[in-house]
Amino acid sequence: MTSRRPSGAPQWSAQAGQTPVVHLHHEAVGPRPGSARPDRAGRRGGWQYPSYEADSALASKVTHYQEAPPSDVSLPSFSEAPVVEVALAVAFEPLALRSFEIVRIWDALFLDQFPHAEEQPPFQMPIEQFASRPEIPSLNLQLMRGMPVPRLVLHNDVPDASTQVIQLQNNHCARNWRKSSADTDYPRYPALQQAFAHDLERLQEYLLAKNVGTLRPVQCELTYINHIASPPGTDLGDVLTIVARRPRMPEGVPEPDAMRVGAQYVINQAGGPVGRVHVSADPAARRKDGSPIILLNVTARGRPLGDGLAGALDFLALAHGHAVRVFEGITRPEMHRMWGGTHGT
């Protein structure tokens, strides 16, 4: 359904039935065959990499960092990184904003640089829990009064070609960078966090000026989406250290038709857990040409490290270091060389 506004006004559309995910641009579709069995990661650089071991094809076990990565240890950098999308997001206490008021925020703050918009279902960011005992999954039913306020997704170009995206709803704000074409350069994390901090500061100033309220962050999230080329004959074990290379199957057991791997690692700060890094790897194929890839998602999520926007941005900075270190730790050295890996940035 498309909604038209007077000539010269911004155009936006409402699309029903879309999955409410933070990251919007997944070029990969569908699984492809692969085979792998989780193994262990090890040590490098003088501090403990997160280790992972699993006893099934799809399994996750939490392994704690001994300490946060030292601030004076340089992060790895890859000149040809396989990243195709990065999303920074903050969830905050709900504000009394209706759909048309969120459109007004777009018009007042972002229209000049983000002239295209669409409505999508609201996104509910998961909250990392650290209970002493694992919680038993349960079915929760919530009674809602009226329709939920949708999420407004803003693009700096037509959606298929946009490289910068802002997402707004009454309890969530996010900024995405997307590699929309082969010649789109990754601007690097510091530039993305600076832009996102500016978004949040402008939003905060607007809300205060309109007497709507203030942003009170409750959870933060940083996601990297990677498309790793996977020529025929390549399996997850050729790319990931947490998966064994071509394990021998017991007699009578066929090779897996497809394989997915998941892991999660606790982020500790000042002696206690503040978040997790979640990893998932799935064999897939590029939509544009059907070539096989491994879709590797790395998401760091947790609570702000202090009050207000400063605490949220502090967590995102910490999350960046952990996400990059986990990415380096779970991918093989030969892949690092292929991606032009170096230290010092």
Tell me the pLDDT tens digit for each residue of 111-121: 999 999 999 99
Name beta bridge partners: 146. none
d(CA 80, CA 55): 33
Least confident span in 55-69, 115-129, 186-200, 260-274: 55-69
> Between the CA of residue 237 and those of 61, 180, 251, what are the distances in Å?
18, 28, 21
Q: How confident is the model at residue 148, as a pLDDT?
A: 83
d(CA 292, CA 162): 24
Q: How confident is the model at residue 34, as a pLDDT?
A: 39
Residue 135 structure tokens: 């919680």
Q: Answer whether residue 12 shows pLDDT above 60.
A: no
Please, are residues 281 and 240 in contact by the beta-carbon 8 Å criterion?
yes
Angle at 138 between CA 133 and CA 139, to 5 degrees: 160
Nearest to 275 by CA among 130, 134, 71: 130
Give me the mean pLDDT over the 326-342 stretch.
Answer: 93
Q: How confident is the model at residue 73, as a pLDDT?
A: 54
In tens, the pLDDT along 195-212 reads 999 999 999 999 999 999
Give me the mean pLDDT over the 28-47 stretch.
Answer: 37
Q: Rounded to a whole number, what is the largest CA-CA distance in the chain?
A: 70
Name which residue leads in pLDDT, 54 or 305: 305
Q: How confident is the model at residue 182, as a pLDDT?
A: 82
Q: Which residue has the tokens 């544009």?
A: 288
Euclidean distance between the first and final Cα of the chain, in Å? 46
Q: How confident is the model at residue 200, as a pLDDT?
A: 97
Q: Which residue has the tokens 């074409």?
A: 181
Residue 231 has phi, psi (to 5 degrees) of -60, 160
Per DSSP, the residues of 91-118 read EES--S--HHHHHHHIIIIITTT--EEE
Per DSSP, the residues of 17-79 read T----S-----EES------EE-----BTTBPPPP---SSSS---EEE-SSPPPTTSPPEEET
Pairing of β 11-14 and β 116-120 = parallel
